[in-house]
Amino acid sequence: MRSAILDWKLHGADAGMLWLLDTAALRLQGIFGRDDLLLPVPMPLSRMRRAGRHHAADLCRAICARSEAHFDWRLLRRVGVQPRQSSLDGRTRRKNLCKAFMVDNDYLGSMPAPGAGKTSATRLWVVDDIMTTGATMRFACRALRRAGLKAHAFSLARLKGRDGPG
């Protein structure tokens, strides 16, 4: 699993990650339902341009292809510029991201109410590729809660032996 995820993250090789999701397709269908909306953790635009991809958004698309869930990148936004998390310890990660996310209230106002149709959401899911300390998920979900939304968190992998949930 580690090799498949690292090949995907570092080298753009999707095959291993897609195989993992195919193998877990029944489990994904049990987790994500027709009225679920997956929100990728926002990535700074400058970093996405350099990388040429957005791993959390790619993961959302792949999960939606294997379940009845929907995907939206417009609701949750990144604010400001923060250093890359991978080079930081747990405490610095939490400080780095405490004000990094916001909800696009204009977009939120245009979304259908839960249960009102195909694009409405009964459950919101913040999706990230790898969870290390949990700081990214914590602050992304906090931004949604502050907007009056309940959010769940999902990651493809969780690193062992790190600082623990943020």
Whether the Cβ atoms of residue 94 and residue 166 lie closer than 8 Å to each other: yes
Q: What kind and span of H or E run contains 130?
A: strand 123-131
Q: How far apart are CA 135 and CA 84, in angstroms?
A: 13
Q: What kind and span of H or E run contains 153?
A: strand 151-158
Q: How far apart are CA 104 and CA 52, in angstroms?
A: 24
Identify residue 132 by its one-letter amino acid code. Answer: T
At 117-147, the pLDDT tens digits run 445 567 999 999 988 888 889 999 999 999 9
* pLDDT recorded at residue 66: 95
Annotated domain spans of the chain: 33-158
Q: How far apart are CA 87 and CA 89, in angstroms?
A: 7
| CATH code, residues 33-158 | 3.40.50
At 62-106, the pLDDT tens digits run 999 999 999 999 999 998 877 666 667 767 777 778 888 999 988
Q: How far apart are CA 63 and CA 70, in angstroms?
A: 9
**Single pTM value for the model:** 0.81
